[in-house]
Amino acid sequence: MARKIFVNLAVKDMKRSQAFFRALGFDFNPQFTNEQGACMVVSEDIFVMLLVEPFFATFIKKPISDAKKATEVLVCLSCDSREEVDALVKKALAAGGTAPNAPQDHGFMYGHGFEDLDGHVWELVWMDPKAAPPQA
């Protein structure tokens, strides 16, 4: 059985966050989506649980990080091409996100990213493993 991953992120405004990620082309599983949490489907084995801050707080004992002031995690998604990387960043910017860094082109690997409406950092990367430099 393939292992699945559920990344849980605190959000301030559920409707606004869902609209942002829908603008990037992501869907939500209605079976696990309500006003407190939304299950964003990234792939067959990857899901992002967007949880409004009061609900998110019920799972932890420490304070919720303010992702606009400090980075608590980098979420990195692979893409099928350089063009897909650029297209997702463009959609994120059009939906209200920001791109705090310039694209990085290493020849065999290309990456760029964005911050979502709550400040969470999303890195997008395309890599051609056949062109990667050999390891020493």
**Structural domain of residue 86, as residue ranges?**
70-136
- Shared domain for 53 and 79, answered yes or no, is no
Whether the per-residue pLDDT at 78 is higher than 90: the answer is yes
Is residue 16 one of the residues assigned to a domain? yes
- The Cα–Cα gap between 82 and 87 comes to 9
pLDDT score recorded for residue 132 = 64
Is residue 104 one of the residues assigned to a domain? yes
- Shared domain for 43 and 88, answered yes or no, is no
- Shared domain for 74 and 136, answered yes or no, is yes
- Shared domain for 46 and 81, answered yes or no, is no
pTM beyond cutoff 0.85: yes
- The Cα–Cα gap between 108 and 86 comes to 16
Instruction: Tell me the average pLDDT of the chain.
Output: 94
The answer to whether the CB of 122 falls within 8 A of the CB of 116 is yes
